[in-house]
Structure formats: C-alpha cells, structure tokens
C-alpha cells in the first residue's frame, strides 16, 4: 500500500511512519522547509500546505492509496497571533487535500483532537456533539465538517488526545515541559524524576485538568489499523481512561518507584498571558468503546507509560533531552 503522510516529522507522524515502515508499506512524507533526515525506506517531498497548486501537483505525482493528514499548527501562541494563516493552513489546506484525495481515488485519514469538545460533559464518545472553546478546536471541528461535506470522499476522522512519546524523526524535538494543555505532560513528570526534582502539578480554570494521556505509539497503531483496513467514520484513537494531573503524577511516580514530593500550584500568570488567556477544555472524560471494538485494540494509561519507560531505556536519554541541563521544573 502506498501511503502519503503530512506532518511526518512531528511526534504523531513520526510514530505512524515507524509503525507503517515496519509493515513494508511504501511511505511518502511531505515536509516544508528544511529537509528531514528520514529512514532510507521513506520517500520525501517538499509541499507547502498553503500553496494549493503544490498540494494538487504532489498528490497527483505520487497517487497514494491513503493520505494521512497529521500536519497542524500546534503552537497556540502562533495560532492566536496569526489566525488568518492558521485558518488557511489547517482548514482550507485540509479541504484541498481531501478534495484532491477524492479526485485521485485516495482514502483520506484526518487527525483531529479531543479539543473539539468543551470539556464540560460527564462523558464524551465518538458520537458526542462537539463544542470547542478555543480557535484551535474550532479549526479542527470545521475541518471535520468540511471533509464530511465532500461528496464521494472515503474518509475517516481520528481524534487524538494528550500525546506523549518519542519523536523518531527529530529526537531532539521530544518535548518535556508542562503547558496549559496535556501534550508531553507525562514526559515532563519523567524528566522531573530523572533530575530528582519535585513534581509540580498545575490546576485552575485556565488548565486542562482531566484528559486521556496516550502513548504516541498506541495512537499510531490505532490510526494505522484505520488506514490499512480502509475504515470510515470517526474514531477516538486514545486511551479509554481519563485521569487528572495529580493522579497522573502519582502514577508516573509509582511506575518509576519514586518518592519525590508533588506540589499543587497554579500556573504563573506569565504562562497564562503567553497563551493569551485562551480557554481550554477543563475535563475530557471519554468512552471509546466503539473505537476499541472496531479496531480490536486496547491500551491503558499504565501500559502506555510502562512501554514509554522501556523505550526510553533502550536509547540514550540525552538524545531525547531528558538528561540535559535545560531542566524545566516549574
């Protein structure tokens, strides 16, 4: 199977490439800017997602069977400062990708987010009505609806949540800082433990306090199952458990057999200001029974952190900036 991936140098995209190349698929990864150092079995092409002619040209050149669209603007500050560009990239660019995929008879897999929800419902599943509370969530939801409106397009929507793991294409990009969201929170806690520093747990109305932290390889495996089997529909490709930040810190400590103290604090106002006081969903509590039954794949918070720990132990931790001097404790 020939699979075209956007955003293959990001955390999720690099994990999807790792899974699919092991299965001997033909992988094409698009990039824009500096050419990545990819696995020799992965072909690369430069493609600007804001140049719609460039999108059309590249997809018609490679004629993939499946297109997995991972690329997205993830820096919330940059999104708030440049909403027009972010919209053109994430919404209009996605629509062009999906429309061209339809025209060349290519299945389209769109990577969305649990942030299409407002975080106030007691339980959300694949059919729950989305209601985003920030611009990033709005762009993801509008993209989902634009895709669904394209006639004769075979598509699937894979929502991801609270990812952490190793970026296999750019190891130095493995982030380990705490933010108002959940990305890399597990990695931040691990870095605290490795540096023998107390774990600071943020709470407050500006913080996404409850989520479903998902090991990136687990998310990649679920998305790969969707792509390889040509499934259609909406899938929640994350753990079927939700947890708050404090309990997660205790869980990471338990797995690492650490007795370091945990302090509950509010994020500094400077952090909130840097995020332009953007609203975040407070609690994303999920039921992913449909996805797990369909994909025949199950993963848990405990198993994800345990596997991540094993994976880190296989490599030089310094390579992933977990033992360097740039410790971000607070």
In residues, how long is the chain?
330
Give residue 32's pLDDT. Answer: 83
326 within a domain of the structure (yes/no): no
Give residue 297's pLDDT. Answer: 95
Are residues 7 and 93 located together in one domain of the fold?
yes
Are residues 156 and 178 located together in one domain of the fold?
no
Using DSSP's 3-state secondary structure scheme, residue 47 falls into: coil
Give residue 38's pLDDT. Answer: 66
**Ranges under pLDDT 70 in the chain:** 34-40, 74-78, 80, 171-175, 274-277, 316-330
Give residue 24's pLDDT. Answer: 84
Are residues 231 and 245 located together in one domain of the fold?
no
Pairing mode, strands 66-69 and 2-6: parallel
- All residues at 6 or more sequence positions from 281 whose CB lies less than 8 Å from its CB, including other chains: 114, 115, 117, 118, 119, 120, 133, 137, 208
Domains of the chain: total: 2
292 within a domain of the structure (yes/no): no
Give residue 105's pLDDT. Answer: 98
Give residue 30's pLDDT. Answer: 92
Are residues 46 and 113 located together in one domain of the fold?
yes
Residues paired with residue 67 on neighbouring β-strands, in sequence order: 4, 108
Are residues 8 and 117 located together in one domain of the fold?
yes
- All residues at 6 or more sequence positions from 79 whose CB lies less than 8 Å from its CB, including other chains: 73, 86, 135, 136
Give residue 330's pLDDT. Answer: 36
327 within a domain of the structure (yes/no): no
Pure H helices in 210-299: 216-228, 245-255, 269-274, 289-295
Are residues 228 and 175 located together in one domain of the fold?
no
Cα separation, 82 vs 70, whole angstroms:
20
CATH code: domain of residue 136: 3.40.50.720
34 within a domain of the structure (yes/no): yes
Residues paired with residue 183 on neighbouring β-strands, in sequence order: none
Are residues 129 and 48 located together in one domain of the fold?
yes
Q: Which helix (H) or strand (E) holds 234?
A: strand 233-236
Give residue 300's pLDDT. Answer: 95
Pure H helices in the chain: 11-21, 52-62, 76-81, 83-87, 93-103, 135-148, 185-194, 216-228, 245-255, 269-274, 289-295, 301-314
126 within a domain of the structure (yes/no): yes
Cα separation, 208 vs 226, whole angstroms:
28
Q: Taking a C-beta distance cutoff of 8 angstroms, is the pair 155, 69 a contact?
A: no
The closest of 190, 221, 218 to 304, measured between CA atoms, is 218
Give residue 328's pLDDT. Answer: 43
Are residues 72 and 175 located together in one domain of the fold?
no
| DSSP 8-state class, residue 117 | S
Using DSSP's 3-state secondary structure scheme, residue 243 falls into: strand
Cα separation, 266 vs 201, whole angstroms:
8
Pure H helices in 127-215: 135-148, 185-194
Are residues 124 and 190 located together in one domain of the fold?
no
Are residues 149 and 42 located together in one domain of the fold?
yes
Give residue 94's pLDDT. Answer: 97
330 within a domain of the structure (yes/no): no
Residues paired with residue 4 on neighbouring β-strands, in sequence order: 28, 67
Are residues 131 and 190 located together in one domain of the fold?
no
* Parent domain of 277: 171-211+241-287+299-320
CATH code: domain of residue 311: 3.90.25.10
Cα separation, 107 vs 79, whole angstroms:
28
Cα separation, 224 vs 113, whole angstroms:
17
Cα separation, 26 vs 43, whole angstroms:
8
Give residue 33's pLDDT. Answer: 73
């Amino acid at each position: 199977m020939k699979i075209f991936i956007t955003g293959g140098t990001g955390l999720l995209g690099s994990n999807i490439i790792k899974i699919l190349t092991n299965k001997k698929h033909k992988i094409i990864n698009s990039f824009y800017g500096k050419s990545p150092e990819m696995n020799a079995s992965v072909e690369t092409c430069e493609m600007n997602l804001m140049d719609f002619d460039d999108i059309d040209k590249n997809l018609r050149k490679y004629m993939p069977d499946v297109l997995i669209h991972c690329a997205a603007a993830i820096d919330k500050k940059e999104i708030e400062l440049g909403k027009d560009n972010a919209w053109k990239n994430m919404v209009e660019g996605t629509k062009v990708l999906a429309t061209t995929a339809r025209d060349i008879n290519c299945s389209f897999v769109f990577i969305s987010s649990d942030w299409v929800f407002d975080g106030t419902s007691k339980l959300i599943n694949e059919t729950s009505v989305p209601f985003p509370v920030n611009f990033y969530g709005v762009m993801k939801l509008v993209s989902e609806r634009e895709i669904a409106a394209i006639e004769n397009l075979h598509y699937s929507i894979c929502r991801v949540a609270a990812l952490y793991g190793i970026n296999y294409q750019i190891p130095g990009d493995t982030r380990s800082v705490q933010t108002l969201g959940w990305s890399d929170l597990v990695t931040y806690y691990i870095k605290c433990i490795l540096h023998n520093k107390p774990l600071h747990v943020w709470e407050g109305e500006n913080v996404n306090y409850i989520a479903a932290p998902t090991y990136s390889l687990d998310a990649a495996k679920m998305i790969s199952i969707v792509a390889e089997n040509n499934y259609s529909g909406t899938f929640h490709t994350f753990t079927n458990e939700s947890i708050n930040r404090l309990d997660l810190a205790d869980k990471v400590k338990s797995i690492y057999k650490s007795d370091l103290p945990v302090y509950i604090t509010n994020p500094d106002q400077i952090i909130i200001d840097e995020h332009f006081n953007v609203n975040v969903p407070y609690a994303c509590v999920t039921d992913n029974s449909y996805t797990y039954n369909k994909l025949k794949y199950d993963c848990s918070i405990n198993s994800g952190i345990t596997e991540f720990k094993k994976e880190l132990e296989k490599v030089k931790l310094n390579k992933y900036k977990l033992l360097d001097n740039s410790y971000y404790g607070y």
